[in-house]
C-alpha cells in the first residue's frame, strides 16, 4: 500500500516544502535586531516608490518576530496518510453538504465566471472549498507580519523577503488595507490562498476593471482561481479524470501520472469506468491507484495536471476533482 507524507502548512495542507527544524542564531546579535531589519525593509520599499506612510503602517503590524509563525514554520507536524485516509479527512459529509449549499447560492456567479474563463465550475468550487472551506477560513495571520518574520528568520529569507515586497506593492494598489490582508502563517492570502507572487500573476476582478479582492469579493475570488487554471492551459469541456475499475492483472508498475497512454490501450487492458461509460472524449490518460492494488483507481487527463499546478499533489488534485464534481 502506497502512503504519502503530508505536512500541515496553514490552510492548505499539501504541496509544502519539507521543513527541517533546526535552531537559528540569535539574529539580534548578528544583524542588530528586528527594528534594524524593518528599517532596512522600509528604506528599500520607499526607494521602490512606495508611500512611506503606507509602508510604516504595514510594518507596524509586525513590531517583533511572530513566535507563532516561527513555531509553525519550524515544527510542521508530519502525517503519513493513505489516499483513503486523506479522502476521509478532506471529503467529509459536512464539506460536501456545505459545498452543495454554498455553490447553489452562487450558481449564477460561478456559471458566468466558468463560461468567461473556459474553466469548469467544479474545479473553481473544489479549490475554493479545499483552500478556505468556501470562504470561511482564510488564515488568522497578518500577511505582512508573517512574511516579515520569515524574511528575518533566515531559513528561506530570500524567498520570503521577495514575497514581503510583493505584498507591500499589492497594498499600494489599494485592493486591501494592511490590517485586512489576512492569510496563513506562510503568507498565503485570502480565499484562494495565493502567495503575493501568485496574486501578482493571477489575481483578477469580475466584472473586469477593479482591483482583485480575494479576501471579500467572491466574484474576484472565483475569477482569480479560474484565471490561474486558464493560464495553466485548462482544456475547456474536458474532465479532470474519473474513477475506474482496474483488473488486478494490471501491474502497478504500469500505472502513475506519468504513464500516459491512449484510451484504447487502457480499454484493452480491461480498465473500465465505474460510472458505466467514460465521461469525456480525451484521447489519452494515465491511471493512478494511490493506495495500490485493492484501492481506488482513477484515470486522469490533462486537466488533472493543471490542478496540480495549483498544488503539486495527486491527493490534492483528486480531492479538488471529486469535491468539485460532487457539489456542482
Q: How confident is the model at residue 8 (pLDDT cuts 50, 70, 90)?
A: very low
Q: What pLDDT, on the 0 to 100 scale, is given for residue 175?
A: 87
What's the angle, vertex CA 306, arms to CA 304 and CA 309, rounded to 5? Answer: 115
Q: What pLDDT, on the 0 to 100 scale, is given for residue 23?
A: 38
Number of Cβ within a 10 Å radius of residue 108: 8
- Residue (of 178, 232, 221) closest to 199 by Cα position: 221
Distances, alpha carbon 204 to alpha carbons 122, 207, 277, 312, in Å:
19, 9, 37, 22
Instruction: Quote the DSSP letter at residue 35.
Output: H
Q: What pLDDT, on the 0 to 100 scale, is given for residue 25?
A: 41
| Ranges of H-type helices in 188-287 | 196-202, 218-231, 263-268
Q: How confident is the model at residue 32 (pLDDT cuts 50, 70, 90)?
A: low
Burial class (CB in 10 A: 0-12, 13-18, 19+), 285: buried
Which segments of the chain are extended strands (E)?
Answer: 4-7, 78-81, 141-142, 182-183, 241-245, 261-262, 272-273, 284-288, 297-300
Q: What pLDDT, on the 0 to 100 scale, is given for residue 257?
A: 95
Cell of residue 203, nine digits: 489575481
Q: 241-327: what CATH class?
A: mainly alpha
What residue spans define the domains of the chain?
A: 241-327
Q: What pLDDT, on the 0 to 100 scale, is given for residue 147?
A: 98
Cβ–Cβ under 8 Å, residues 191 and 132: yes
The tens digit of pLDDT for each residue in 97-135 reads 999 999 999 999 999 999 999 999 999 999 999 999 999
Cβ–Cβ under 8 Å, residues 149 and 65: yes
The tens digit of pLDDT for each residue in 180-239 reads 999 999 999 999 999 999 999 999 999 987 889 999 999 999 999 999 999 999 999 999
Q: What pLDDT, on the 0 to 100 scale, is given for residue 12?
A: 34
pTM of the shown model: 0.89
The tens digit of pLDDT for each residue in 180-191 reads 999 999 999 999
Q: How confident is the model at residue 77 (pLDDT cuts 50, 70, 90)?
A: low
Q: What pLDDT, on the 0 to 100 scale, is given for residue 5?
A: 40
Cell of residue 211, nine digits: 482591483
Q: What is the mean pLDDT of residues 49-72?
A: 97
Q: How confident is the model at residue 41 (pLDDT cuts 50, 70, 90)?
A: very high
The proportion of the chain whose per-residue pLDDT surpasses 90, expressed as a percent, equals: 82
Q: What is the mean pLDDT of residues 166-176?
A: 95
Cβ–Cβ under 8 Å, residues 298 and 240: no
Which segments of 120-162 are extended strands (E)?
Answer: 141-142
The tens digit of pLDDT for each residue in 256-299 reads 999 999 999 999 999 999 988 998 889 999 999 999 999 999 99
What is d(CA 196, CA 234) in angstroms, rounded to the nearest whole number? 22
Amino acid at each position: 500500500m502506497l502512503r504519502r507524507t503530508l505536512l500541515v502548512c496553514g490552510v492548505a495542507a499539501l504541496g509544502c516544502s519539507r521543513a527541517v527544524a533546526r535552531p537559528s542564531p540569535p539574529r539580534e546579535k548578528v544583524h542588530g535586531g528586528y527594528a534594524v531589519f524593518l528599517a532596512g525593509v522600509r528604506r528599500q520599499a520607499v526607494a521602490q516608490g512606495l508611500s512611506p506612510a503606507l509602508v510604516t503602517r504595514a510594518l507596524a503590524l509586525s513590531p517583533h518576530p511572530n513566535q507563532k509563525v516561527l513555531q509553525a514554520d519550524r515544527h510542521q507536524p508530519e502525517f503519513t496518510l493513505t489516499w483513503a485516509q486523506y479522502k476521509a479527512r478532506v471529503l467529509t459529509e459536512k464539506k460536501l453538504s456545505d459545498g452543495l449549499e454554498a455553490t447553489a447560492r452562487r450558481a449564477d456567479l460561478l456559471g458566468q465566471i466558468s463560461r468567461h474563463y473556459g474553466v469548469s465550475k467544479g474545479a473553481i468550487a473544489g479549490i475554493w472549498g479545499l483552500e478556505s472551506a468556501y470562504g470561511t477560513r482564510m488564515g488568522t495571520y497578518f500577511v505582512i507580519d508573517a512574511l516579515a518574520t520569515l524574511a528575518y528568520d533566515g531559513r528561506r529569507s530570500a524567498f520570503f523577503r521577495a514575497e514581503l515586497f510583493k505584498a507591500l506593492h499589492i497594498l499600494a494598489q489599494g485592493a486591501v488595507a494592511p490590517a485586512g490582508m489576512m492569510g496563513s502563517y506562510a503568507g498565503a492570502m485570502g480565499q484562494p490562498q495565493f502567495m503575493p507572487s501568485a496574486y501578482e500573476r493571477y489575481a483578477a476582478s469580475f466584472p473586469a476593471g477593479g482591483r482583485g479582492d480575494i479576501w471579500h469579493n467572491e466574484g474576484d475570488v472565483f475569477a482569480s482561481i479560474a484565471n490561474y487554471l486558464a493560464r495553466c492551459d485548462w482544456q475547456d469541456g474536458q474532465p479532470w479524470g474519473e474513477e475506474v475499475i482496474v483488473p488486478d492483472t494490471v501491474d502497478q508498475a504500469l500505472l502513475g501520472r506519468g504513464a500516459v497512454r491512449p484510451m484504447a490501450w487502457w480499454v484493452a487492458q480491461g480498465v473500465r469506468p465505474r460510472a458505466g461509460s467514460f465521461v469525456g472524449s480525451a484521447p489519452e490518460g494515465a491511471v493512478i491507484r494511490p493506495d495500490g492494488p485493492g484501492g481506488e483507481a482513477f484515470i486522469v487527463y490533462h486537466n488533472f495536471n493543471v490542478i496540480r499546478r495549483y498544488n503539486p499533489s495527486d491527493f490534492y488534485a483528486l480531492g479538488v476533482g471529486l469535491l468539485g464534481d460532487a457539489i456542482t
